[in-house]
Amino acid sequence: MVPDTEPNIFRAPDLKEPPSEKFRPFLRRPVFWVSFAAAGVLLILVLSAFPLMTRQAGPAARRVQSKINLRQMGLALQN
């Protein structure tokens, strides 16, 4: 026989008791705001690095296009 002092997991919670930490609303949890801030910082870093990547790709794309143009002109002269 089970003594009455053990908690009954099937009993409904008493509504007069204050809610525990795990039942707080999601947006009030500090872990949510810390992860939200970390994601924002990472997004800012990625977006700030994007113009640097495109600046490096610009001269390489122009060189490739120049080689293609020279090849086309050489083929046109041959024909």
Distance CA 75, CA 79 (A): 6
Residue 74: what are its φ and ψ, rounded to 5°?
-65, -40
15 within domain boundaries: no
Whether residue 22 lies inside any domain: the answer is: no
In tens, the pLDDT along 47-79 reads 887 777 667 777 888 899 999 999 999 999 998
Per-residue model confidence (pLDDT) at position 77: 94
Give residue 71's domain range: 32-78
* In-domain check, residue 52: yes
Residue 12 located in a structural domain: no
pTM above 0.85, yes or no: no
Instruction: Give the pair of three-digit tokens for residue 74.
Output: 């050489």
Instruction: Identify whether 66 is part of a domain.
Output: yes
Cβ atoms 65, 73 nearer than 8 A: no
Residue 8 falls inside a structural domain? no
Number of domains in the chain: 1
Residue 47 tokens, joined: 């977006």
d(CA 35, CA 10): 35
Q: What is the pLDDT of residues 9-38, one digit of tens each?
A: 666 655 555 555 555 566 666 777 888 899
Q: Which residue has the higher pLDDT, 25 or 42?
A: 42
